[in-house]
Amino acid sequence: FNTSDGNVDNVSFQLYSYREKTPKPALLTASSGQPIYDVDTDALDGDLLINQYFLDSIDSAVNARIPAREAFAKAAAAHGYFIVTNDVTKYTKAKLFEKVGKKTKIFARLGISQVFKGQSDTTLAAARGMAVKFYTEQGNLDLLGVNVPVYFYKNPLLFKELFHSFGPNPKTSIQDPNAIIDFIVQNPVTLHSLLWFFSEYGLPKGYRHMNAFPIHSFQLYNEKGQSYFARFKILSELGYESLSLDQAAAISSYDFNFFTRDLYNSIERKNYPTWSLEMDVLNVFGIKNLHFDPFDVTRLWPNGTYTTVPIGKIILDRNVENYFAEAEQAAFNPINLVPGIKNPPEKLYMARTFAYSSAQKNRLGSNYNKIPINCPMYAETYNRDGDPPVLDNGGDAVNYYPNSFNGPVPYYDPARPRQQFKIVETNEVHLEDSRKFYQDVLALDDQKQRLVDNFVRASLRVKHSLQEKLLNLFQKVDPDLAARYEKTLDKIKKNVKLPNVVEDLDDDNLNPFSNA
Ligand code: HEM
């Protein structure tokens, strides 16, 4: 398993390292513990329905699947810790941030959305995410970020529409570019984030080079009850780097799991991936006078309106022991906040608090927070029964609240702002954000062309009328974007003949895009 430079691929070596630490085999048993007779390991010799090994194995195998996550089904995962590097007690009383040097255990899942589990890690124009669970003494704090700093939409009803339009066509079962482009032109609010995702910022070189943005504006409060709004940022210490389209295509031809392998091997080599956790902070008092909506997840806060405050470092230093038990059963939920961090006031966040627990009940059963990877350091509730695992199910403790029998009582937090911020949200679309991204963030010609190439690839099999609509939308953003799109589309249409049936395959031109 040595690669050309002598480095070990620990992923391929995993079973051998298990053998090294397991000097002799253990006794094989049924799930209920009885030893398995050697003759029963051959099902052809004997009665099947009294062969416990057969019954146990087949039963387990046909029931092994649970529903995959709707978003970010494919992912890598690892354990680690968070360490505070800066005093942020001025902004938040959250205990995990209480002093410089304090460490908190974490579990992180880094994944890719809008693809099935078997698809390549280097798939173009897909959202990538990083979810981090901090096991604090005040309960779990979950920060879920995507790899670009703005989200597709603020109207939560668009969640399903986006998933359906980017998902498989109901008849062909193949992703349908007509639906994707139609979705974009019907919902121009999504364009800003899609420009980010279709640009070099959408395709990191690997998870270790990826940034993650929880995006929402969370309300922080300190011991004195003073409030701030903050947007967290999880920034790669290696620095953001992108794969080129050619690199991505080449990697996909030999390794669908390149990002996952890279993360695993780096941790095994003790080259621990590290991110800095920072936040952009706004003072609550000034919030009414701002000339922009600080809660709009489709928009960035304008430069000069906020202060950036470093908080600490996220370090991943241990691979999972069992992928299904840890990564698959992990349940991250944006409602998991701790004292000192209060909910953002917008609808998208509120919709998420419902969506995640609904999905997780379906995937993992009603007691998903009792699965070891999700268990907080401390939990005392009046919830009882339901799907396994129930753990001790509350033992003999009183099971209703309030009560006169010393059952658990709520936390009184005088610092917690009592008032819930009320905000007015509108469906206004700000194409100037897309313009700014195209003109300023993608300052170089190559960067602009790469974005356009991605859109052309995504719209090559789309009807002319929809291509025209996309062109019109681009025209409103920036005439240069429209002109580039039109020119590149014309060129590619002339030079690229995509095979539609095997008879169309051309051995002299295996990659139709190579001469484009
Ligand atoms: C209406 C808006 C949204 C809805 C309805 C939604 C829904 C979901 C659902 C159902 C899952 C799968 C949960 C599970 O089965 O465990 C998920 C996963 C995820 N979502 Fe969202 N989401 C929304 C917005 C966002 C936003 C704004 C972000 C980040 C800024 C985000 C980041 C993530 C991440 C990182 C995961 C993967 C978590 C993991 O690794 O287990 N989502 N989302």
From 66, 69, 323, 357, the mutation candidate for ligand 1 (largest count of ligand atoms within 8 A of CB) is 69
In ligand 1, the atom with minimum distance to the C-alpha of 110 is 40
**What total of structural domains would you count in the chain?**
3
Instruction: Say yes or no: CB of residue 355 within 6 Å of ligand 1.
Output: yes
In angstroms, what CA-CA distances link 218 with 135, 212, 224, 338, 471?
19, 16, 18, 11, 36
| Cα 243 to Cα 121, 257, 437, distances in angstroms | 12, 15, 20
235 belongs to a structural domain: yes
Residue 5 has a pLDDT of 63
Give me the pLDDT at residue 484, please. Answer: 98
Look at residues 350, 374, 398 and tell me which one is the last residue of a structural domain: 374
pTM over 0.90: yes
Same domain for 93 and 60, yes or no, is: no
Examine residue 406 and state whether it is found in any structural domain, yes or no. no
Digitized pLDDT (tens) for each residue of the chain, 516 residues in all: 555 566 789 999 999 999 999 999 999 999 999 999 999 999 898 899 999 999 999 999 999 999 999 999 999 999 999 999 999 999 999 999 999 999 999 999 999 998 888 899 999 889 999 999 999 999 999 999 999 999 999 999 999 999 999 999 999 999 999 999 999 999 999 999 999 999 999 999 999 999 999 999 999 999 999 999 999 999 999 999 999 999 999 999 999 999 999 999 999 999 999 999 999 999 888 888 899 999 999 999 999 999 999 999 999 999 999 999 999 999 999 999 999 999 999 999 999 999 999 999 999 999 999 999 999 999 999 999 999 999 999 999 999 999 999 999 999 999 999 988 899 999 999 999 999 999 999 999 999 999 999 999 999 999 999 999 999 999 999 999 999 999 999 999 999 999 999 999 988 888 888 767
330 touches ligand 1 (CB under 6 Å): yes
- CA of residue 355 to ligand 1 center, whole Å: 8
Is residue 134 in some structural domain?
yes
Is the Cβ atom of 146 under 6 angstroms away from ligand 1?
A: yes
Q: Do 206 and 303 fall within a single domain?
A: yes
* Same domain flag for 323 and 367: yes
Structural domain includes residue 44: yes
Q: What is the ipTM of this complex?
A: 0.94
The residue segments making up the domain with residue 272 are 74-149+201-374
Tokens encoding 257:
């799991």
Is there a single domain that holds both residue 314 and residue 270? yes
CATH code where residue 94 lies: 2.40.180.10
Q: Distance between alpha carbon 497 and the CA centroid of its chain, in Å?
A: 35
- H or E stretch covering 133: strand 128-136
Q: Mark whether 41 and 101 lie in a shared domain.
A: no
Number of neighbouring beta carbons within 10 Å of residue 196: 24
362 belongs to a structural domain: yes
Same domain, 50 and 124: no
